[in-house]
Chains A and B, each alone.
Chain A
């Protein structure tokens, strides 16, 4: 049984290696004393200390995180309300039309969205900077949230709403006590998706940053064009670790939520047996 050689596993390992080797290569050289990415001459934290003393970089990281947190939060609120609205549309034709409009935003190239935002903002005379980046990030995150929340709404049993009303709930109480807890997993997933989209967006941001305001991806692009600096490697390594922690954190949050109740139950039963 055990020694069965599997081409499937080999293939899987190959694919993952292909995906991860460049990242590990990058991280590996972030510890290189040599200052290039060709010869590893010795271990150093130098690039990391440089990074942490680079106040401009720190400022950009903070801005990027702020944009990501704010835009995903607002996009989640707007997107969830939008999903509720789409859900309440009765006529299938209208519903599909709205959904298609939502999906077009998902599939259309970022460059086009970015360019159109640029034209839009300049047309309105809106100053490019933090505000324009935040608005465009909110805009492209909303469809993602809608797509994550809508399936949850669709799988919800309609009689739950009838039942809540029957028991005396007002429309708002139906929403806050029944619908929201039910779709919460979808809302959280939408928030995390929107957060990561905002964090790593380059194309749209590149168009609407203007002068004096940068996000991380735009800054890395600019620096990479100027030539190799292992500070970028160090930054990439930190970002990789950060996203790894995000994913792990999300996983454990999910695990915790789903098993909290069963564990509580088991504890209870254990004490009853004693």
Chain B
């Protein structure tokens, strides 16, 4: 990749005996929006802190434009961070907070003024320059933190769960704004979050992490549609996961029946896990359905009905339906072959990609 800006090569991080990061490898390209997604304690913030220079990797190389930066101190790196708690300086007003980085570098006063006002305009805080930090709402403080970071014109902006302290509505609005801001600035964003909805909505590319490892990397659609294992499937969106068996290519058996599917390249009769997304399941008559389930509970969510049901083998099925069902009633569920996603046990991302190529190549 010609425009790779940051790369991690075999990065490990240990605190005593605990392993925070285990063999992290990835590359970030210029001008894209990346998200590190994972539950708390999975190591995503550690990656950010290593990249910003607040902590160092135990082993491995961190490269910025091909240059190793492991030992470069944080104040010399061309990255800026937006902190989870904003970390605005309480003794300075909005203007001085944003101007902090520039004034350290002895930029002329007039230029500081021009750039700070421009940064405030970008985050839609024009006219707030002489406000005190304590006078601002959470969302406004958030924007000041972003302005303070982007005013330095970093090549990479690191965002550490910056939206987690905002209420739901403001958070959605800020997601859109952040995405627009990233497009306008054209710089690389590395965004850390545990909120899968946020990750799917904003990212060009998502890294799903757990226990100090990157499990899967890909664009939001791929990650959602082709989760590589149980953890990813469960973490990204809601899913029905059942055990099954790969009878042969394009034929899988689960809950005692055989179904067509879109996956291939596995051993005959290999034990697998099946993922069915609740929104891919369509309610229909018992006679037309591929599966028959009994409706247990139903919750109205505004845009959909969230229906919990069970089949005769007591597998739970979550269905997102447009029309409502009757509790206690037997209904049929139908789905297409492409809705059945098969996951092998212990398959790595490379193996998954390689297998995908073998049979997708045949079709073309």
> Which A residues lie at the B interface, using CB under 8 A?
157, 159-160, 162-170, 173, 177-178, 181-182, 261-262, 265, 268
Contact = CB atoms under 8 A, between A and B. Distances in A.
Given A157-B87, A159-B87, A160-B87, A166 B81 contact: yes
Contacts of B75: 165-170
A268 B132 CA distance: 13
Contacts of B54: 162, 165-166
Contacts of A181: 89, 91
B323 interface: no
Nearest to A180: B91
A166 B89 CA distance: 13
Contacts of A159: 83-85, 87
A167 B132 contact: no
Contact of A165 (B74, B85, B88, B130): B74
Interface stretch (B100-108, B187-195, B260-268, B287-295): B100-108
Query: Which of A159, A164, A168, A169 neighbours the largest number of chain B CB atoms within 10 Å of its CB?
Result: A168
B16 interface: no
Interface of B: 52-54, 73-76, 79-81, 83-85, 87-91, 93, 100-101, 104-105, 130-132, 135, 148-149, 152
Given A157-B85, A265-B132, A167 B100 contact: yes
Contact of A163 (B79, B83, B132): B83
A167 B100 CA distance: 7
19 contacts: A159-B84, A162-B54, A164-B89, A165-B73, A166-B53, A166-B74, A166-B81, A167-B75, A167-B100, A167-B101, A167-B104, A167-B152, A168-B75, A168-B105, A173-B104, A177-B104, A181-B89, A261-B132, A265-B130
A265 B131 contact: yes
Contacts, number: 69
B89 A160 contact: yes
Contacts of A166: 52-54, 74-75, 79-81, 149
A157 B141 CA distance: 15
A167 B148 contact: yes
Contacts of B104: 167-169, 173, 177
A74 B74 CA distance: 33
B91 A167 contact: no
Contacts of A167: 75, 80, 100-101, 104, 148, 152
Query: Which of B73, B75, B152 neighbours the largest number of chain A CB atoms within 10 Å of its CB?
Result: B75
A169 to B, nearest CB: 6
Nearest to A174: B75
Contact of B100 (A157, A177, A268): A177
B81 A163 contact: yes
Contacts of B105: 168
Contacts of B88: 163
A268 B130 contact: yes
Nearest to A261: B132
A1 B83 CA distance: 51
Which 10 A-B pairs rank lowest in CB-CB distance, beginning with the nearest?
Answer: A167-B101, A163-B87, A159-B87, A181-B91, A165-B74, A166-B81, A168-B75, A159-B83, A168-B104, A165-B75
Contacts of A265: 130-132, 135
Contacts of B91: 181-182
Given A162-B81, A168-B152, 13 more contacts: A163-B81, A165-B73, A165-B75, A166-B81, A167-B152, A168-B75, A168-B105, A169-B100, A170-B75, A177-B100, A181-B89, A181-B91, A265-B135
A161 B149 CA distance: 15
Contacts of A261: 93, 132
Contacts of A182: 90-91
A181 B54 CA distance: 22
A80 B149 CA distance: 31
A173 B104 CA distance: 8
B135 A178 contact: no
A166 B90 CA distance: 17
Given A261-B132, A265-B132, A265-B135, A168 B89 contact: no
Contacts of B132: 261-262, 265
A169 B106 CA distance: 12
